[in-house]
A and B are shown apart, each in its own frame.
Chain A
Amino acid sequence: MEKKDVKLEFIDKSEKAALYTICFKGNDTSEFADFMLKYKNNADLKQDYRYIVYALSKILENGALERYFRPEGKINDNLSALPIEHGKLRLYCLRISDQILILGNGGVKRTKKYNEDEELSGYVISLQKFDEILKGEIMKGSITIEHTSIDGIDDKYFRL
């Protein structure tokens, strides 16, 4: 996979949780914005999309509790999915803690496993790589997380 630079972008926060997303250098939109633009007016999927969006507002209200998410990826990574029960649309994210959720991109799951789908596996791999980088930066002390705030990320790009 071609090396890409990515930054973390703040979206919104409440007392209980904060939402962030990732944005690739050179792209006009963040990964979550891309997901929203793809599905907000999609005739077949906009209802499913609205369930996911409102679920995110509930997560902001209550905290990014582990049980709200479906674990994906490997045992030690923070990769999670936000699916809806009655549909195939899902949003991939990194659940860092009950207070911090980093939203990626998502799409329709048409295969049994995400890594059988080129589009979805691309979104997942980007988040997994960013998860590794974030852990490394936190260990080095260049990024700190305090409750709902991630500090040390302003205007900083990370090489995936």
Chain B
Amino acid sequence: MNTKELFKESLEDVSPEIKAELDLSFAIADKIGRILTERGLSQKEFARKMKKTEAEVSRWLTGRHNFTIRTIARISVALDVQLLEM
């Protein structure tokens, strides 16, 4: 089996739960990333605004961070956007 076939096979083994989790975390990260870019806000400036470290903000934007409801709410307020559609 070649590399591509192994990769496809591995993707088939990913559970719906992991897919749903990462679809959400990437969607949130990408929305934050897009907003920061549109507003010309650096990660450093955003971290300062959120009173967080740059390292923590960097983790938020990887697409693999497990956000808490509280963090999503605080980011939504700080950026004045709905991170999650309700």
Contacts and interface: CB of A to CB of B under 8 A. Distances in A.
Nearest to B30: A62
Per DSSP, are chain B's interface residues mostly helix, strand or loop, or mixed?
Answer: helix
Contact of A33 (B6, B29, B64, B65): B6
Given A62-B30, A65-B33, A53 B62 contact: no
Contacts, number: 78
Interface centre among A32, A68, A84, by most chain B C-beta atoms within 10 angstroms, is A68
A67 B15 contact: no
A50 B13 contact: yes
30 contacts: A11-B4, A11-B7, A12-B4, A21-B3, A29-B3, A32-B3, A33-B3, A40-B9, A40-B10, A40-B13, A50-B13, A50-B14, A53-B7, A54-B18, A54-B22, A55-B63, A56-B7, A57-B11, A58-B22, A62-B26, A62-B30, A65-B33, A67-B29, A67-B58, A68-B63, A70-B62, A84-B64, A85-B59, A85-B64, A85-B65
